[in-house]
């Protein structure tokens, strides 16, 4: 018996360092570019494993990208969220908004 596994395309974005007011706009633009490309994946995964800190501007960049992904019918998820970053998502209740793996 032949089994076929159809997996949607996956785009992984891996920011590094701090996501703060200094670089949040640039980070948001990179995510926006990845989301609006015609040949883009149906799933966009932001790997936060190398992110050391995040502030409100970084969180807003992620929220904006999530809203854009929803409007385009794409899936937007977060992964490798460190315990210190996860606390920020929990305090802001954004852990209820994002799919975090």
Q: Which residues of 44-62 are buried (b: 16+ CB within 10 A; e: fewer)?
A: bbbbbeebeebeebbbebb
Q: Please give, one letter per residue, the 3-state secondary structure of the chain.
A: CCCCCCCCCEEEECCCEEECCCCHHHHHHHHHHHHHCCCCCCEEEEECCCEEEECHHHHHHHHHHHHHHHHHCCEEEEECCCHHHHHHHHHCCHHHCCEEC
What's residue 8's pLDDT? 65
pLDDT in tens, 20-78: 999 999 999 999 988 888 665 678 899 999 999 999 999 999 999 999 999 999 999 99
- CA separation for the pair 58, 69 (Å, rounded): 17
pLDDT at 11: 86
CA-CA-CA-CA torsion for 27, 31, 33, 34, nearest 10 degrees? 140
The predicted pLDDT at position 17 comes to 94
Please determine, for residue 5, whether its predicted confidence score (pLDDT) is greater than 70: no
């Amino acid at each position: 018996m032949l089994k076929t596994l159809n997996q949607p395309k996956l785009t992984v974005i891996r920011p590094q360092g701090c996501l703060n007011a200094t670089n949040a706009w640039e980070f948001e633009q990179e995510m926006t570019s990845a989301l609006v490309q015609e040949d883009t994946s149906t799933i966009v995964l932001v790997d936060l494993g190398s992110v050391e800190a995040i502030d409100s501007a970084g969180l807003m960049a992620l929220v904006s990208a999530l809203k854009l992904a929803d409007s385009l019918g794409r899936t937007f998820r977060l992964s490798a969220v460190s315990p210190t970053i996860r606390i920020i998502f929990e305090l802001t209740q954004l852990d209820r908004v994002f799919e975090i793996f």
